[in-house]
Every structure is written in structure tokens, then in C-alpha cells.
Amino acid sequence: MSKDFSVTVLGSSSAIPTKDRFPTSQLVCCYGRYYLLDCGEGTQIQLRKYKLSFQRIDRIFISHLHADHFLGLPGLLSTMDLLGRTKEIHIHTFDELNLFMDGFMKSTFTEFSFRVHIHVMSKKKSTVLFENKHIEISTIPLKHSIPCNGFLIKEKRKLFNLKKTALKKYEPSIEQIHHIKSGGDLVLSDGSVVPNAELTMIPPATKAYAFVTDTCYYESIIPFIEGVDLLYHEATFAENLKERAKSTMHSTAKQAAEIALKANVKKLMIGHYSVRYENTDILLKEAQLVFPDTFCSTEGLEVEI
């Protein structure tokens, strides 16, 4: 994972894993730091398989507390501990995870050599969970059988790059350069103003990734994911099991594609496949009929955002 902003799929299965598919987990790399989205059973094994460093993960985001989305946590944290981690780790999820982790810690007679901060998310409204100079991570409230949040990871506005010709012509001070890079105009000593557009090149577009699992078809998420570069949307069932999708509060592949279309996203990645689909072609085809730029998540797939 050498890209500035990319995602690696660690698990593409829904609740029942298969011999090839692990439960949900994805690793997002943003400017050298790793962010783990969900942590199904076996996540630590997948991280090893794809040679992804555990210790670069500082933040873990757990969408909801169904077993297939968080059971890899105690094993991952235990291994981090055995490998000598001392740096604190942050987990963003719902309050009930404390019950699980408390039970685990008490049953195993151990304490980690690093602090685990569990930050409780809002169940109802979108909130910013984390930001640094590069990115911001916020929640996307979903509709599932228990409280569940998706996550939106978006790059912050990038700084403008100065044109070399402008630098040479006006010789701005360090302070003035900072001002221009942030989008400001240059005020010369005679009081005249050189507009920013004349001084800078358009910065590269900011990118965004939306991780949406588990949820039924839910148009309320569209304002949050509008125009993202990549949408991951669960697609547990094919269209002939639309009623089952509804009753279990999951989505069909076609519904995932409809959301992608309505939200005008650039690309759609589907996943969270039911165990009944040994081959996921039917899911892909049904989605592509609605939203052609769809592809399937598979274990080990790395996608540049």
C-alpha cells in the first residue's frame, strides 16, 4: 500500500465466512497511516497474508456490533501487544463494545501494554470522528436491525501550488506564500492586488471514500456520499431475494447500484456477499445493469481512491 489514499479488502463475506471469504474488514491507507474499517474474525491473519503492518494502525472504526464485524478485535489487539506495541489505539464504535472487551480482558487475566480508547459514536446523526491535516472521517447513519454507521473518509482541501513564474516575478515572503497557497490573493507593496488565480495552479481534486455496510436500501445516505470517488456498498443478495434482503435489513446488488446512481458516485465496489453465492457474477451483473462502473470486492484487492 504505497498510494496516498487507497483501500485494501481483507474480508468480503457476510455473516457466514467461506473457505475463501473472510468476514468484513478493510484497511484504508491515507498518507502513510492505516485506518481499519470493521474487524471481522481473522482480520489479523489477513493483515499478515497481505503483508500489512499491524503497528501502523492507530484507529479502528467498527460499523456495528454484529459478530462478523468485530470478532477479530481481541486477537488483533493481543497480537499487537505480543509484538511490543506501546502506542495507544483508538476504536470508534458503540458503547456495547465495552461489555465485550471487558469480558475478554477479565477472562484472559491480561492487560495490554498500550491504552485502548473506545470512543462512543452517535447512533443517530452524522458526526466527525477524526481529522488530521490530510483527512476527515465521519459517520453515515445507516438503517439495519441494530444501530449501524457507515464511514466517510474524505481528503481535506489541498493547498494551491504556486506557479514558478509568479514566484519569480513577485518574490513573495514566506508568510505571503502560505497565504497564497491557502487560496488568498497577493497584496503588493503599492497596494495593488494580484488575484490568486493568476498566481497558482488548480490543486489536485480532493478524493473521498464511503464505506456503507450493513444497511437496507436507504436513500437518506445519499447526501453524505454524493459524488464520492468510490462507494463500497453492501450487496448481500441478488434481486430474486429482495424480500429476504428487506426482512434481514440488507441490500440487493441492484439496490446498491441504485444508490450509487442516485448519489452520482464515480465507482461502486460491492461486497458482504451471502454464503449462497460461491460465484458473485450474478451480483455483479445485476449491479452493472444499473450502474456500469461497479466491481466486486475480493480478499486482497487494493483499490486506489
What grid cell was written down for 259? 444508490
Q: Which stretch binds its own copies (CB under 8 A): 107-115, 129-137, 158-166, 217-225?
A: 107-115
Residue 224 contacts by C-beta under 8 Å, 6 or more apart in sequence? 126, 138, 140, 150, 152, 210
Long-range (24+ apart) CB contacts under 8 A made by 220-226 are 220/141, 220/143, 221/140, 221/141, 221/142, 221/150, 221/259, 221/263, 222/259, 222/262, 222/263, 224/126, 224/138, 224/140, 224/150, 224/152, 225/140, 225/152, 225/259, 225/263, 225/265, 226/263, 226/264, 226/265
Q: Which stretch binds its own copies (CB under 8 A): 25-33, 66-74, 84-92, 175-183?
A: 66-74
- Please tell me whether the peptide bond between 20 and the residue prior to it is cis, using omega within 30 degrees of 0: no
Determine which residue in the list 33, 85, 90, 100 makes contact with its own copies, applying CB under 8 A: 100
Task: Select which of 4, 38, 68, 190 is catalytic.
Answer: 68
Residue 278 lies near its own copies (rule: CB under 8 A): no
Q: Quote the DSSP letter at residue 299.
A: T
Residue 66 lies near its own copies (rule: CB under 8 A): yes
Determine which residue in the list 1, 58, 71, 299 makes contact with its own copies, applying CB under 8 A: 71
Q: Which stretch binds its own copies (CB under 8 A): 105-113, 119-127, 217-225, 249-257?
A: 105-113
Is 68 tagged catalytic? yes
By beta-carbon proximity to its own copies, the closer residue of 45 and 194 is 45
Q: Which of residues 132-161 bind its own copies (CB under 8 A)?
A: 146
Q: Are strands 193-194 and 200-201 parallel, antiparallel or unpaired?
A: unpaired
Count other C-beta atoms under 10 Å from residue 158's C-beta: 14
Residue 113 lies near its own copies (rule: CB under 8 A): no
Residue 241 lies near its own copies (rule: CB under 8 A): no
Asked if 175 and 247 touch (Cβ cutoff 8 Å), the reply is no
Determine which residue in the list 31, 53, 103, 205 makes contact with its own copies, applying CB under 8 A: 103
Determine which residue in the list 32, 99, 201, 276 makes contact with its own copies, applying CB under 8 A: 99
Residue with cell 430474486: 240
By beta-carbon proximity to its own copies, the closer residue of 43 and 139 is 43
Q: Quote the DSSP letter at residue 273.
A: B
Q: Which stretch binds its own copies (CB under 8 A): 41-49, 154-162, 166-174, 214-222?
A: 41-49
Give me the least distance between CB of 271 and its own copies, in Å please.
Answer: 17
Catalytic residues: 68
The binding site for its own copies (CB under 8 A) comprises: 15-19, 22-23, 41-42, 44-45, 48-49, 65-68, 71-72, 74-75, 78-79, 82-83, 96-104, 106-110, 146
